[in-house]
Amino acid sequence: MTVTICVGSSCHIKGSRQVVEQLQELIAGENLSDKIILSGTFCLNKCQQGVCVTVDDEFFSVSPETVSSFFEKVIKARL
Amino acid sequence: MNDLTCDIGYKSINHVGEQLCGDHVEIVEQEDGSTVAVLADGLGSGVKASILSTLTSKIISTMLAAGLSIEECVETIAATLPVCSERGVAYSTFTIIRIIQNHTAELIQYDNPQMIVLRNGENWEYPRTETTIGGKQIFRSLIRLQEDDVFIAMSDGCPHAGIGLAYNFGWKREDIIPFMEAMSLCGYTARNLAALLVDECNKLYGGEPGDDATACVVRIRKRVPMNILFGPPSNRDDVERMMNLFFSKEGKHIICGGTTSSIAAKWLRKPLRPSLDFTGDIPPIAYLEGVDLVTEGVITVNRVVEYAKDYLGENKSYETWSSGKDGASLISRLLFEEATDINFYVGKAINPAHQNPDLPINFNIKMNLVQELSEALKKMGKRIKVSYF
């Protein structure tokens, strides 16, 4: 599974760094790094909904506050 | 004209307790592509010395730039300088470095410590001829320039550094030479070389300089062109033209901006691979075959502008950007240290996402950034060309 996080200007200001770091921690904590590939992207043209995240090309809007529930509900559900 | 250029930088420290510096450096560029740098050291310190040295360096640089002879300059100075009421003399020493169309250096020295010339990183005792103008003993030299030549002019505050403190007779010229020889090969800019020398003097003075000390460094180097793409064009039909112009130019290529780099990637038909390495608070950089550096846009460039202003002023962030691995540090090193000629390709497209009032970025800020950055780079002596799309 590929999880892509936007690191453009807008999403950066909205906290893409925290989202990436929390996801990295969660993935490492559950030993899922061989199953999930984290990658970055520039603008997905949905800046209003940032931080923009795609999971295998499906779009999600995530914020630093919702990362853990996003990880549980979306990422783990799809493994 | 050859492909050499000169990088000039200087730094002064004041006599302890003085607000004004009695040394003055004046740099004038002539229309024919020659550059004149004058370092003058006024008698004494404080306001009188400052007036003397400012007048001297301004008069010499203006007259030489206008094509008048050194004899006329010296006579004018002798006739113009106000006479000190305490000492009954009007006196300011000077060192002139005139870079003639980047192929020859003319050195004219009067009573300042003898200029140090480093060639291939080693001291070179260049030939000097002595002449007397208006009773003043003046040394002149003509030197054919080579790449990496470094000229170091100093006021006497440099070799006097540490008298009675660190050394009995100060930091002698023959001891300054090996210090600068070692530094000259590290790729430091002229500004940083001057700062290294003067900061060392300040240390030897124990932080309380007994005299104004100034170093002016001229570094001869090859021209290095560099190109920056910043923002997508306001009209989509101009993408082809903008990319063609940008990628056809000689030198390194830097792209700032997420959307901009996506457009470039599409044009190059190569994948854009953003990294997730966050170093500091600057968004991560990306990798794109055929482009030397890809960064985020406004936030990164904003930081570069901050570094540029600081470099021209107090130079406090040097240690941050000279070693940092984030986008802003990488751009700063390329632009401030490596490039001599910089072409900006600025797209004026308005990013709808940036018009959100909650965000601290908008179109005007972007255009201001380009303006501020190009002005700062000009002050560093770079040739700047900005094209808007």
Query: Quick one: which of B122, B116, B123, B113 has its CA closest to B161?
Result: B113
Kindly state whether residues B202 and B234 are assigned to the same domain. Answer: no
Percent helix, strand and coil across chain A, each rounded to 5?
45, 25, 30
Closest residue in chain A to residue B357, using alpha carbons only: A48
**Residues B183-202 pLDDT 10s:** 888 888 999 999 999 999 99
**What are the two backbone dihedrals, phi and then psi, of residue B304, each rounded to the nearest 5 degrees?**
-60, -40
> CB distance B354–A20 less than 8 Å?
no
Looking only at the bridges linking them, the beta strands covering B213-222 and B225-230 are: unpaired
Kindly state whether residues B105 and B252 are assigned to the same domain. Answer: no
pTM for the model stands at: 0.80
Domain housing B34 = 4-222
Kindly state whether residues B99 and B190 are assigned to the same domain. Answer: yes
> CB distance A10–B353 less than 8 Å?
yes
> CB distance A43–B258 less than 8 Å?
yes
Q: Which of B206, B222, B238 is the last residue of a domain?
A: B222
**Residues B223-241 pLDDT 10s:** 999 999 999 998 889 999 9
Kindly state whether residues B209 and B346 are assigned to the same domain. Answer: no
- Position with higher pLDDT, A8 vs A59: A59
Two structure tokens written together for B58: 């301004």
Q: pLDDT category, B270, cuts 50, 70, 90?
A: very high
Q: At what angle do helices B298-312 and B363-379 cross, to 10 degrees?
A: 30
Closest residue in chain B to residue A18, using alpha carbons only: B278
Q: ipTM score here?
A: 0.70
Two structure tokens written together for B165: 């403190």
**Residues B53-72 pLDDT 10s:** 998 999 998 898 888 888 88
**Residues B69-93 pLDDT 10s:** 888 888 888 777 777 666 666 678 8
Domain housing A64 = 2-78
Kindly state whether residues B216 and B237 are assigned to the same domain. Answer: no
- Nearest by CB: A7 against B259, B284, B361: B284
Distance, in Å, from the CA atom of B195 to the CA atom of B216, rounded to the nearest integer, reads: 9
CB B332 within 8 A of CB B226: no
Kindly state whether residues B332 and B318 are assigned to the same domain. Answer: yes
Closest residue in chain A to residue B302, using alpha carbons only: A9
- Nearest by CB: B296 against A8, A21, A38: A8
> CB distance A7–B272 less than 8 Å?
no
Domain count, chain A: 1
- Position with higher pLDDT, B265 vs B45: B265
CATH number reported for the structural domain that contains residue A37 in this entry: 3.40.30.10
Domain count, chain B: 2
Kindly state whether residues B155 and B285 are assigned to the same domain. Answer: no
Task: Give SS3 for B160.
Answer: coil
> CB distance B258–A42 less than 8 Å?
yes
- Nearest by CB: B296 against A9, A24, A38: A9
Q: Which of B190, B222, B254 is the last residue of a domain?
A: B222
Kindly state whether residues B188 and B74 are assigned to the same domain. Answer: yes
Closest residue in chain B to residue A44, using alpha carbons only: B259
Residues in B whose CB is inside 8 Å of some CB of A read: 257-259, 261-262, 272-276, 278, 281, 283-284, 286, 296-299, 351-354, 356, 359-361
C-alpha to C-alpha distances, A33 to A16, A37, A66, B207, B335, nearest whole angstrom: 19, 7, 21, 55, 38
Distance, in Å, from the CA atom of B339 to the CA atom of B16, rounded to the nearest integer, reads: 37
- Nearest by CB: A42 against B261, B278, B356: B261
Kindly state whether residues B234 and B376 are assigned to the same domain. Answer: yes
> CB distance B286–A9 less than 8 Å?
no
Kindly state whether residues B305 and B212 are assigned to the same domain. Answer: no
Kindly state whether residues B218 and B229 are assigned to the same domain. Answer: no
pLDDT confidence of residue B355: 63
Look at chain B and count its residues: 389
CATH number reported for the structural domain that contains residue B84 in this entry: 3.60.40.10
**Residues B112-124 pLDDT 10s:** 999 999 999 899 9
Kindly state whether residues B304 and B180 are assigned to the same domain. Answer: no
> CB distance B299–A9 less than 8 Å?
yes
- Nearest by CB: A48 against B258, B278, B356: B356
Two structure tokens written together for B341: 């000629």
Q: Which of B185, B201, B222 is the last residue of a domain?
A: B222
